[in-house]
Amino acid sequence: MRAVVQRVSEASVTVDGKITGSIREGLLVLIAVHREDTDDQLRWMAEKLRKLRIFEDEDGKMNRSVEDVGGGILLVSQFTLYGELKKGTRPSFTGSAGPEKAEQMYDRLADLLKESLPGKVGTGIFAAKMEVSLVNDGPVTIIVER
Model confidence pLDDT, tens digit, residues 107-128: 999 999 999 999 999 999 999 9
Q: Is the pLDDT of residue 146 over 90?
A: no
Q: What's the full length of the chain, in residues?
A: 146
Catalytic residue among 6, 55, 79, 123: 79
Residue 9 CA, chain-centre distance (Å), reads 15
How many domains does the chain divide into? 1
CB 71 within 8 A of CB 122: no
Mean pLDDT of 53-67: 97
Residue-wise pLDDT tens digits, 3-36: 999 999 999 999 999 999 999 999 999 999 999 9
Where in the sequence is the domain holding 55, given as residue range(s)?
2-145
pLDDT range class, residue 62, cuts 50, 70, 90: very high
Task: Give the mean pLDDT of the chain.
Answer: 97
126 flagged as catalytic: no
pLDDT digits (tens, 9 = 90+) for 33-53: 999 999 999 999 999 999 999
Catalytic residue among 80, 104, 123, 126: 80
Q: DSSP secondary structure string, 12-35?
A: EEEETTEEEEEESSEEEEEEE-BT
Among the options 55, 78, 89, 104, which is catalytic?
78
CATH number for the domain including 96? 3.50.80.10
Query: What angle (nearest 5°) sits at the alpha carbon of residue 18, between those of residues 17 and 20?
Result: 135
Mean pLDDT of all residues in 72-78? 98
Q: What is the pLDDT of residue 20?
A: 97
Angle between helices 99-116 and 39-51 (to 10 degrees): 40
Tell how strand 55-56 and strand 62-64 pair up.
antiparallel
- Among this protein's residues, is 94 annotated catalytic? no
Residue 5: per-residue pLDDT:
98
pLDDT at 141: 98
